[in-house]
Amino acid sequence: MAFLQLKNIKKSFYLGKKEFPVLKDISVNFERGEFVSILGESGGGKTTLLNIIGGLDSQYEGDVLLDNTSVKSGSEKGLDAYRSKTIGFIFQSFHLISHLTILQNVMVPLEMSNLSHSKRVKRAQDLLKQVGLEEHMSKHPGQLSGGQKQRVAIARALANDPDIIIADEPTGALDSQNTDEILDILNDISKQGKLVIAVTHSDKVANYGTRVIHIVDGQVDSDTQLRDKAPDVEKKVSDAKVTHLSFRNTFSMALNHMRYYLGRNLLIIFGSMIGIFSVIFMLGLGNGVTGYITSEMNKTVNPTAIQVTKNVTSSDPTGADIDPSDINITDKNEKTLKKIDNVNSVEEGYFVQGAKLVANDKSAQEQFFQTFNKTIKTNDIKQGTKPGKNEILITKAQAKKFNKKDYKSMIGKKVNLFLTTTNADKQPVQVQRELTVSGIIKSGTSSISYNTLKSMFTDQGIKIQPNFVTVNVDKTQDVKAVQTKIKNYEHKDAKGKTVKTYQITGVGAIIDTLNTYLQLAFNVLAAIAGISLLVSAIMIIVVLYISVSERTKEIGILRAIGARRKDIRNLFISEAFLLGLFSSILAVGVAYLVQMGANSISMSALKMPIIDITTGNAIFGILVSVIISLLAALAPSRRAAKLDPRETLTDE
């Protein structure tokens, strides 16, 4: 039983419907140890036949049997394995991978074996010694002569210790001295018990082998034994198992390629970095600015206190049709508010427009006077305490007005408070009382307790109900929920229309809306910055397409030595992944640097960091970048995986 059998191989190419038969019924047997030359005219179908033998082509009639097993009947996976384990390819134009060193070139097929890295290096070095290139191992192919390149290609073909070496015009590009050297090496290989099949159109080369098969017009014209084949040698069982390219190896190959074209890849990385950086920066600026505003606001108001008034609608712009009692907060209202989850207390309050304070013959006006409540920060009372019965809290500005030299001495002094209101007949009435200063507040307004105010009014025969309340929430996190609940209460007005019952006023409500809008604005800015990501995606697509077209030969080689389509796809996906990863890591680094710079300036100017990039923002940036790169890789890597190795490996 012959080692390798070709049985009735027929192959035609079609141009439209027209058939061009190239191989017409070829049947040949081969043995180990033979060095077979296939001789024929140019265009006679020699390459076509080699592609069939080498498992690069499965579209033919007839069969190729290896140890009596058909190589064709297997799946694509089977053919991939056949190419990587059994076949070693040598081409007329060498097809070395230019961005890899000589050593790395020989190691490419070994990347598909289960050998350890050090064993791979050792094996590649041994093979290069065998072909006499130990001194050139760290050179790139461009630095070698033709004969040397072909010797590298031979070392590569031998890497996985295949049983069959097929060489398509291996000396076609070489001078006569190099031709002799290469033929000697091929002869040696056959002596090691391997089957060497070399295609040539030169009689001189053909006569070097142990046997010449002459193909004419797609058929075997003559089959001549020139000398004895090498005796069978006991085949050493190699411990190396051929698998496929591991993910790690595709990664390191992608890295190698990126390193070789470093300048170009750095530009791409820099370009994509700008997009990712802008997104992360905008998000961080959004956090910083809203954080700054919130903390500034919280310095003057208590964040857990919500001021609530009645929502009164008026059809008259002057509000003349509003019944003043409509704005009163009833006991029933208070009970409803108290029942809301997480509400600790509801504090009654009253505001009046226009107040006058008189002391030491000097007077101060207050536009908007309200009773003391929890929205006022007690921390802001720098001297004294909050107002108790018949006491008043005044502002620092007012205290200075009353006593320029020593404003602090105003504490304990008397101040006359005048308030204007209307009585039951809607006639304006002035209410007045002498009060003791309990404390001085840094900013804001002066205030007295609700009970003091109520008794001032009662003295004048005016009955009042609170016209606002302060709802105190247990913690800041619950404020939003309580606010929403209050805003959602509804009732039917006099005309039967459903209207909101309450209104939230005070600074707390403003911060909340302001922050919502600010956050929105920064998210929109981040999204606009995200458009530059589209640019980086396009850049990556372009660079990968360029990479694919530059590397068609490499892809062909990888496929010829058994790489699966999937491996090729992974190679380009890895490259895109690395581009995305590197640019986003760089972007995060730059963003943190800019944050450091900007914050050191804002710390001295505002006493607060203005940019706050969270770990979440950074991770988001990296994820977006990697996902965009992977999406960009889809089409180019599919194209690479679809390339037909036979077409990419033609020798023009």
Q: What secondary structure, in 3-state letters, does 289-340 show?
A: HHHHHHHHHHHHECCCEEEEEECCCCCCCCCCCCCHHHHCCCHHHHHHHHHC
- Closest approach, Cβ 197 to Mg ion, in A, equals 13
Using the contact rule CB under 6 A, the part of the chain among 35-43, 341-349, 533-541, 600-608 near ligand ADP is 35-43
Using the contact rule CB under 6 A, the part of the chain among 37-45, 297-305, 351-359, 518-526 near ligand ADP is 37-45
Site for ligand ADP (CB under 6 A): how many residues? 10
Query: Does residue number 170 form part of the binding site for ligand ADP (CB under 6 A)?
Result: no
Query: Does residue number 307 form part of the binding site for Mg ion (CB under 5 A)?
Result: no
Query: Do residues 99 and 141 touch, judged by C-beta distance below 8 A?
Result: no
- Closest approach, Cβ 147 to Mg ion, in A, equals 20
- Closest approach, Cβ 22 to ligand ADP, in A, equals 4
Which member of 8, 19, 21, 43 binds ligand ADP (CB under 6 A)?
43
Measured CA to CA, the distance from residue 543 to residue 262 in angstroms comes to 13
Which member of 4, 33, 47, 440 binds ligand ADP (CB under 6 A)?
47
- Closest approach, Cβ 33 to ligand ADP, in A, equals 25
Q: Which of residues 554-593 bind Mg ion (CB under 5 A)?
A: none
Which member of 9, 30, 40, 435 binds ligand ADP (CB under 6 A)?
40
Instruction: Kindly report the backbone phi and psi dihedral angles of residue 518, in degrees, each rounded to the nearest multiple of 5, phi listed first.
Output: -65, -45
Which member of 11, 44, 45, 47 binds Mg ion (CB under 5 A)?
47
Site for Mg ion (CB under 5 A): how many residues? 1
- Tokens at 632, concatenated: 């960009």
Measured CA to CA, the distance from residue 152 to residue 155 in angstroms comes to 5
Measured CA to CA, the distance from residue 37 to residue 223 in angstroms comes to 10
- Closest approach, Cβ 50 to ligand ADP, in A, equals 8
Query: Does residue number 219 form part of the binding site for ligand ADP (CB under 6 A)?
Result: no
Radius of gyration of the chain (CA): 44
Query: Does residue number 284 form part of the binding site for ligand ADP (CB under 6 A)?
Result: no
- Closest approach, Cβ 651 to ligand ADP, in A, equals 9
DSSP result, 397-466 = HHHHHH-SS-GGGGTT-EEEEEEEEE-TTS-EEEEEEEEEEEEEESSS--B--HHHHHHHHHHTT-----
Which member of 13, 270, 368, 517 binds ligand ADP (CB under 6 A)?
13
Nearer to ligand ADP, 42 or 498 (CB): 42
- Closest approach, Cβ 45 to Mg ion, in A, equals 8
| CA-angle at 74, arms to 69 and 77, nearest 5° | 130
Which member of 37, 48, 179, 373 binds ligand ADP (CB under 6 A)?
48
Query: Does residue number 556 form part of the binding site for ligand ADP (CB under 6 A)?
Result: no
Using the contact rule CB under 5 A, the part of the chain among 46-54, 68-76, 150-158, 390-398 near Mg ion is 46-54
Position with the least CB separation from Mg ion: 47
Measured CA to CA, the distance from residue 214 to residue 336 in angstroms comes to 104
Q: Which residues contact 358 (CB under 8 A, 6 or more apart)?
A: 364, 415, 416, 418
Query: Do residues 374 and 305 touch, judged by C-beta distance below 8 A?
Result: yes
Nearer to ligand ADP, 46 or 454 (CB): 46
Which stretches of 159-246 are DSSP H helices?
176-191, 203-206
Using the contact rule CB under 6 A, the part of the chain among 42-50, 232-240, 256-264, 629-637 near ligand ADP is 42-50
DSSP state of 156: H
Site string for ligand ADP, 132-161 (x = CB under 6 A): ------------------------------
Q: Choose the one of Mg ion, ligand ADP, none that binds residue 290, judging by a C-beta under 5 to 8 angstroms depending on kind.
A: none
Question: What are the CB-based long-range contacts (under 8 Å, 24+) for 525-531?
Answer: 525/282, 525/285, 525/286, 526/278, 526/279, 526/282, 526/283, 526/286, 529/275, 529/278, 529/279, 529/281, 529/282, 530/275, 530/279, 530/624
Nearer to ligand ADP, 21 or 412 (CB): 21
Query: Do residues 186 and 170 touch, judged by C-beta distance below 8 A?
Result: yes
Query: Does residue number 93 form part of the binding site for Mg ion (CB under 5 A)?
Result: no
Classify strands 351-359 and 414-422 as parallel, antiparallel or unpaired.
Answer: antiparallel
Using the contact rule CB under 6 A, the part of the chain among 44-52, 253-261, 323-331, 387-395 near ligand ADP is 44-52
Nearer to ligand ADP, 48 or 395 (CB): 48
**Residues 545-563 as b or e (16 or more Cβ within 10 Å = b):** eebbeebbbbbbbbbbbbb
Query: Does residue number 45 form part of the binding site for ligand ADP (CB under 6 A)?
Result: yes
- Closest approach, Cβ 14 to ligand ADP, in A, equals 8
Nearer to ligand ADP, 41 or 67 (CB): 41
Classify strands 4-15 and 61-66 as parallel, antiparallel or unpaired.
Answer: antiparallel
DSSP state of 506: S
Query: Does residue number 22 form part of the binding site for ligand ADP (CB under 6 A)?
Result: yes
- Closest approach, Cβ 11 to ligand ADP, in A, equals 8
Residue 250 C-beta-side C-alpha neighbours within 13 Å: 23
Q: Which of residues 61-120 bind ligand ADP (CB under 6 A)?
A: none
Which member of 42, 176, 177, 498 binds ligand ADP (CB under 6 A)?
42
Query: Does residue number 44 form part of the binding site for ligand ADP (CB under 6 A)?
Result: yes
Nearer to ligand ADP, 40 or 444 (CB): 40
The residues pairing with 436 across neighbouring beta strands, listed in sequence order, are 391, 414
Question: Judging by beta carbons within 10 Å of its beta carbon (0-12, 13-18, 19+), is residue 97 exposed, middle or buried?
Answer: buried
Nearer to ligand ADP, 46 or 374 (CB): 46
- Closest approach, Cβ 632 to ligand ADP, in A, equals 31
Q: Which of residues 519-538 bind ligand ADP (CB under 6 A)?
A: none
Measured CA to CA, the distance from residue 467 to residue 455 in angstroms comes to 16
- Closest approach, Cβ 572 to ligand ADP, in A, equals 24
DSSP result, 562-589 = T--HHHHHHHHHHHHHHHHHHHHHHHHH
Query: Does residue number 633 form part of the binding site for ligand ADP (CB under 6 A)?
Result: no
Nearer to ligand ADP, 40 or 286 (CB): 40
Which member of 46, 123, 214, 229 binds ligand ADP (CB under 6 A)?
46
Measured CA to CA, the distance from residue 64 to residue 457 in angstroms comes to 112
Measured CA to CA, the distance from residue 151 to residue 173 in angstroms comes to 13
- Closest approach, Cβ 213 to ligand ADP, in A, equals 13
Give the footprint of ligand ADP on this chain (CB under 6 A). 13, 22, 40, 42-48
User: What is the contact surface with Mg ion in residues (CB under 5 A)?
Assistant: 47
